[in-house]
A and B are shown apart, each in its own frame.
Chain A
């Protein structure tokens, strides 16, 4: 029996160390890949003139599709902001997903809408569309407003996809703020495909808490004043600039944020559109699209753009944050298990040999192993056998590695887009990096474990979300939005 426990001890301790080294190595490798990719991207785009797309008859057509649920307080401004995007051949499709507030009345009045007859093919099954509206005012001719029964974000997006005839669709959260050139920048990679089809592109999502916003535009970029959103700035910077950039380079990107992404319409429809039964529909669609292309032996790429094109509000309370992360975990698990066929399957090349296993081990399994490690340590601590110096050394290593990664992320941001201009903001970010592993990581770990528990117990709800509006920091006034059941949620991974 003692031999058995010694063997178990050996396996657990050494296993955790090996996995830790593997995780460190993976992050370091991704950071290096990202650095190389960023450098090339910055050089490549230093003299690109995106305006050529504005007037070119060869520019592709784009449909911006934005589902909205109970967004009455901000929907009129949000639509105005979308209509003022710089692009020539584009339309804005807003889907009112059975809102129970006054969204519909407000939009009808503000944009002088009238119901129109539109004949379209329901290639993707959705909840019934009640009416389609267009403006009498020619200034808003690019706007189409769909009023439908509530079916969730994925269902609303599918309804929008059914109605559009444009070549590319851009799925966005209606309350996200896009920079004016977002479509121009996002469309470019689709035009650069050589032999391989660009099936999707995604951009960096930035956090807009505490930024100054006027008329649906960010006029002054500021670091969030509150601790929790500020930590997420670091987290997003790490994930987007150091992670996804590398995955794009390796052609292994599995996720394009639901807050802003662009897709080839034909491929989306061929794949069956967004899956309405899942909470992580954005990731699952990309995995399915990639799988579809690989199975049909078509060359393809999913592109990631590091430019800060989309700004969104990050959760500023622990309650909302844990719900969001819990849902992200379930979304990740849905995609990983639904497409488990990809796991180390050479037929799918990078997707099967690198992308899926990476997400499996590092995004799903790593927090579970971390939890096992913690439980194991608590047990040996209670039994009185811990090797304290080794424990503290290991803890210090992990802590310092996490902080170093964040420092690198800050450096990436400084050398690339340099959006936070004030020196004190940079110092604040660096100091926040020191606190993140202590205060933020445990919360994320807890949420992830809860997500795992809910996934295995079969819970599929989005959960009740409470979000604070962008104006909160300016006016110290809370705008609470309540979202029940399986309704759209703005802050997407």
Chain B
């Protein structure tokens, strides 16, 4: 369908251009007035040729409207009179006539195209539906039939049908596990459908290439990984992502090798897709530390997130180092990952990072710097929730005294109320010397905790 959109736009553009050229050429070449006299001198020349004409106030932008007074009444004369009266031969009128003819032509063309397109589309949709149903039935029979039975799939050599067949087979394969999935994969190879997928990689259009990657990865065509890896640093971000996803699946030994020299920013969308592939195919990676020193911050953040999600607690010293990273986003990911590890010894680093992530007056014109600082301090306080003990009460005392951010104060009071022994008593004491805003926070947090 996308091919058809491109073809339509191209053909309509070319047709429109040709139409404009044809109309302009035809119109101006047949116009004697245009061929014989310059328009700037138009009315002057007409005046010389027809001395008997009289001038009248004009309606057309300062030009002279002319009325013929003598002469025989013939159709030609009447037309001439009409032309002269209204300056039909002026450049503006000529341009308008050309535009009108062109627009009429486009309208007819568009109308015909839309109707034909609709008819073809409806027919194709019905046809595709029937073929799809046929293949669904045939594939089900194949799956539940005898293993060595020879199967004939209707019209599979026709390219239109073959595409539908591949889609159906892949869709079915995607929903099946075990023996059934293996049988479908065998069928994919036996019918040489992998060759179709490989051919897609060589196509010029990036969306067809990307589709080829998907098919080959899903059917685990390992030999294709070398071809696919050519695109892992492609400038086309979709091609790049699809090749990465395919390689995560195909390159079992080192699924994330492409992150080593990854020069682009790894977007969150790419990260989500890679993570999904890792989880769906249950791909294990021994360690993510290899990418935590990468010069590409997006790669560092992704590896830290993966370490947290896959509970690579052994990576915590490396993650801890990242609390010193210059990028506040990296520091945030590191704090959240350490929080996920839930290691009791971590209170020290969280307190330290809280103390560092402070507002900077000189950054007050930066739209996000101080927001990042607040966000990171909040994350550090949140991380203390599961590991804070009575030893941390002095730190919280400091927080309540100095902190300005509402959400951090709210979180700090909430954590204090959960620290036993001593937390609730300390909150009561803090209430006595708190300013009205903090008092309000304490009162409300206590009420919420009691709910």
A58 touching B103, Cβ below 8 Å: no
A318 in contact (CB, < 8 A): no
B55 smallest CB distance to A (angstroms)? 13
Output the residue of B61, B366, B445 with the most chain A CB within 10 A: B61
A435 in contact (CB, < 8 A): no
Contacts of A43 in B (CB 8 A): 2, 205-207
Q: Given contacts A13-B61, A56-B275, A397-B103, list 7 more A-B pairs with CB under 8 A.
A: A47-B242, A193-B268, A292-B367, A390-B96, A393-B93, A407-B111, A414-B121
B103 touching A42, Cβ below 8 Å: no
Expressed in whole angstroms, the Cα–Cα distance for A165 and B367 within the complex equals 19
Say which one of B4-12, B46-54, B148-156 lies at the interface with A.
B4-12
B276 touching A56, Cβ below 8 Å: yes
Contacts of A292 in B (CB 8 A): 367
Contacts of B309 in A (CB 8 A): 57
Expressed in whole angstroms, the Cα–Cα distance for A104 and B126 within the complex equals 49
Contacts of A193 in B (CB 8 A): 267-268
Say which one of A61-69, A113-121, A144-152, A448-456 lies at the interface with B.
A113-121
Choose one: A14, A53, A430; the contact of B114 (CB below 8 Å). A430
Selected A-B contacts with CB under 8 Å, 15 pairs: A42-B5, A43-B205, A58-B271, A121-B407, A192-B269, A193-B267, A270-B371, A389-B86, A390-B92, A400-B99, A403-B103, A407-B111, A407-B114, A410-B114, A423-B119
B5 touching A52, Cβ below 8 Å: no
Contacts of B367 in A (CB 8 A): 267, 270, 292-293, 296, 298
Q: Which residue from chain A places its CB closest to the CB of B302 in the assembled complex?
A: A58
Known: A117-B451, A408-B110. A387 touches B87 (CB 8 A): yes
Please provide the chain B residues from 1 to 37 with a CB less than 8 Å away from any CB of chain A in the complex.
Answer: 1-2, 4-6, 8-9
B312 smallest CB distance to A (angstroms)? 15
A195 in contact (CB, < 8 A): yes
A39 in contact (CB, < 8 A): yes
A375 in contact (CB, < 8 A): no
A138 in contact (CB, < 8 A): no
A219 in contact (CB, < 8 A): no
A residues sitting closer than 8 Å to B (CB atoms) are: 6, 9-10, 13-14, 17, 35, 38-39, 42-44, 46-47, 52-53, 55-60, 116-119, 121, 165, 188, 190-195, 266-267, 270, 292-293, 296, 298, 380, 385-390, 393-394, 396-397, 400-401, 403-404, 407-408, 410-411, 414-416, 418, 423, 426-427, 430
B448 touching A119, Cβ below 8 Å: yes
A389 smallest CB distance to B (angstroms)? 5
Known: A116-B451, A411-B114, A414-B114. A191 touches B272 (CB 8 A): yes
B448 touching A47, Cβ below 8 Å: no
A223 smallest CB distance to B (angstroms)? 13
Contacts of A430 in B (CB 8 A): 111, 114
Choose one: B6, B59, B103, B271; the contact of A387 (CB below 8 Å). B59
B40 in contact (CB, < 8 A): no
Expressed in whole angstroms, the Cα–Cα distance for A323 and B103 within the complex equals 33
B337 smallest CB distance to A (angstroms)? 12
Choose one: B92, B210, B272; the contact of A17 (CB below 8 Å). B92
Expressed in whole angstroms, the Cα–Cα distance for A408 and B111 within the complex equals 10
Choose one: A47, A121, A190; the contact of B211 (CB below 8 Å). A47
Choose one: A56, A389, A396, A416; the contact of B100 (CB below 8 Å). A396
Contacts of A414 in B (CB 8 A): 114, 117-118, 121
Q: Which residue from chain A places its CB closest to the CB of B104 in the assembled complex?
A: A400
B57 touching A400, Cβ below 8 Å: no
A152 smallest CB distance to B (angstroms)? 25
Known: A192-B269, A390-B93, A416-B5. A58 touches B275 (CB 8 A): yes
